[in-house]
Amino acid sequence: MRQTLEQLRDVAGRCAGSPVWSLPDADLVSSLHAVHDAEQMLAAIKLHLVREIDGRNLPVGQQAASTAVWLREHLHVSIHTARRMVDLAQVVDKRPVLDAALSTGAVTVEQAQIVAKTVRDLASEVSPDVVDLAEKTLVEDFAGWEPAILRKAAQRILAHVAPEVAEDADRRAAERDAKRAQQTRAFTLTNNGDGRYRLTGWLDAEAAATIDAALDPLCKPDGQRTATQRRADALAEVCRLALRTTQLPANGGDRPQVVVTVPYDVLRQELRHGHLDTGERLSAQQVRRLACDAHIIPMILGGDGQILDVGQSRRLFTGPLRRALVARDGGCAFPGCDRPPRWCDGHHITHWTAGGRTALHNGVLLCGYHHRLIHRGEWEVRIADDGKPDFIPPTYMDHDRRPRRNIYHPRT
């Protein structure tokens, strides 16, 4: 094995020194995929080696405080990276399905970390058979999704593999996460000594959503500042507003609005947990606390997630109608976009000037960039039979013009 790996290192070194400018487009893309797949397979080998080194207690024999500290010194990585490596190696050693997927390049290291965390968390909640099924489903059915989407799928994997226990498990997980977030909340403002101050800390989902809602109206793109600069300026401005007056900006000064999204068939059942408009899960206790100081808006859904009732429609995409768009689309509905609802406009699929109605079946949420893209006319939007928007690409992207959807935002 050692000789093979040394040969592989030599081959990789030669490839790294070779120019790529002469490669045709197809070879350029295929080479990138080949390198990426090889990285994942090599990562699996590295995890196997790390696990064996850890199992033999080699680091302790060499006077290292832990395997992670030993890896930091030998591989020149951060202690956080080293700890994640040791943790993942321990899980992969016990999960042959995940190990095989990583070893063949079917999943990436980042995806493997998500699956590993999921099976570790589930182990204390459900039976081993359910954990095995959850692992297999995530690896086989969701490995084609990038980590942000896979993480959302992992949070709701019990609804797919064991719906009979999913609700209770979700409730316990929400309560556990809320308790941990409450106990570990922290905020630190540190003088860096060079005129800068560093902000670090942890917030629970409720507090983070409150802060994000206060900052967002003040940090929209302006073409002059980066996103992080805008958020830093917005934080300072919110604090200035708090010092000067009791009034927040016009779009943030109302009492909170909590949209309670409830499937119709459990409408009369006891509330177990809820979700913010950001998708973050809240415990029932957190939902009730928000509801004590909020305007409650019922959003009743059918079995397939279609909106059955959201109140009276208005001429513009505001009020109940906008809330309906947010509940359906979750953010910018354009395929591949993860912009949140607050950064989106309501777009008329059939333009208002052409007689299009301001109605849910004629509206879609789009961020500024994709709103402008749609108005250029190359892409088309239509509402499918299930009531959700499909996007039809131009022929130069797909000769068959097969419909595409955003898979970032849906919560079910």
Q: What does the pLDDT read at residue 23?
A: 87
Q: Answer for the pair 367, 388: CB distance below 8 angstroms, yes or no.
A: no
Between the alpha carbon of residue 319 and those of residues 150, 258, 296, the distances in Å are 32, 13, 13
**DSSP-assigned states of every residue in 93-132:** HH-HHHHHHHHTTSS-HHHHHHHHHHHHHHTTTS-HHHHH
| Backbone φ, ψ for residue 61 (5° rounding) | -65, -20
Query: What distance separates the 2 farthest-apart alpha carbons in the chain?
Result: 78
DSSP-assigned beta bridge partners for residue 299: 261
| Backbone φ, ψ for residue 297 (5° rounding) | -120, 115
Q: Answer for the pair 370, 332: CB distance below 8 angstroms, yes or no.
A: yes
Q: Please give the Cα distance from 201 to 185 (Å, whole number).
A: 7
Q: What does the pLDDT read at residue 311?
A: 39
Between the alpha carbon of residue 66 and those of residues 56, 133, 320, the distances in Å are 12, 33, 56
Identify the structural domains of the chain with CATH numbers, from first to last.
2-162 (no CATH), 257-309 (no CATH), 319-392 (1.10.30)
| Backbone φ, ψ for residue 305 (5° rounding) | 85, 0
Q: Please give the Cα distance from 203 to 184 (Å, whole number).
A: 8
In the block, tokens 């305007």 appear at 295
Q: What does the pLDDT read at residue 391?
A: 94
Q: What does the pLDDT read at residue 312?
A: 37
pTM greater than the 0.85 cutoff = no
Distance, CA of 54 to chain centre: 32
Q: What does the pLDDT read at residue 100?
A: 92
Q: What does the pLDDT read at residue 287?
A: 62
**Strands 281-283 and 273-275, sheet pairing:** antiparallel
Q: How big is the chain, counted in residues? A: 412
In the block, tokens 């879609």 appear at 364
Average pLDDT, the chain: 79
| Backbone φ, ψ for residue 345 (5° rounding) | -110, 155
Number of Cβ atoms within 10 Å of the Cβ of 296:
10
Helix or strand (DSSP H, E) at 89:
helix 79-94
- Which parts of the chain have pLDDT scores under 70? 243-282, 284-316, 353, 410-412
Q: What does the pLDDT read at residue 334?
A: 92
DSSP-assigned beta bridge partners for residue 200: 188
Whole-number CA gyration radius for the chain: 25
Q: Please give the Cα distance from 204 to 181 (Å, whole number).
A: 5
Q: Answer for the pair 334, 349: CB distance below 8 angstroms, yes or no.
A: no
Query: What burial letters (b/e) apply to 235-272, b meaning 16+ CB within 10 Å?
Result: bebbeebeeeeeeeeeebeeeeebbbbeeeeeeeeeeb
Between the alpha carbon of residue 307 and those of residues 210, 260, 274, 302, 345, the distances in Å are 26, 12, 17, 6, 19
